[in-house]
Structure 1
Amino acid sequence: MTPFEWLLAVCIAVMTLALVSGLVLILRTRDVITKAVISDLIFYSMVCIFLTWTLTNATSIGYEVALLAAIAGGVLPTLSMARIISRGRR
């Protein structure tokens, strides 16, 4: 393994720790707003792990996953989190 691959492996390990700690927090908390925010953390950490992995492993859909994550991860969670925080009021 090259030093760059070692660095990426360490980055993936740190992101995995953040993902697991977010999962534990979701399971332990009862606050709906906290669950909504942490669900974004989990989504973005999964996307970051995949995109970091694609830096050293050739894949044909890496660019498409990044675009889909930007669309689905940017617009939809913002709208749903606003509905959760306002408790459905308009």
Structure 2
Amino acid sequence: MSTVEQIVKNEPLEEIVTVFALLKPHRQLDMLIRRHNRELIQHGELEKTYKNLFEAGILTGGEKGLCAKGPNWKAPKFVLEKRYT
């Protein structure tokens, strides 16, 4: 199992988006999550999560379809603990 697959299967959606939205545009992130954990975003949760993260100042608009770190961005627990290195 790949590292990305482990993260998508084991971590909360909000934490996944907090990290991967900086690296992948919305459409690619949607496909990535659907490939590894379809149930996580079955009912529009991805769009709601993006909206909540933008409103909370965790993410902000970036370049080329990517997000940027907002003023309230903090690394998720799984990143700080280096669970998947």
* TM over 0.5, shorter chain: no
TM-score normalised per structure 2: 0.30
Instruction: Give 1 or 2 for the bigger CA radius of gyration.
Output: 1
The structure whose residues are more often strand, as a share, is 2
The structure whose residues are more often helix, as a share, is 1
TM-score normalised per structure 1: 0.29
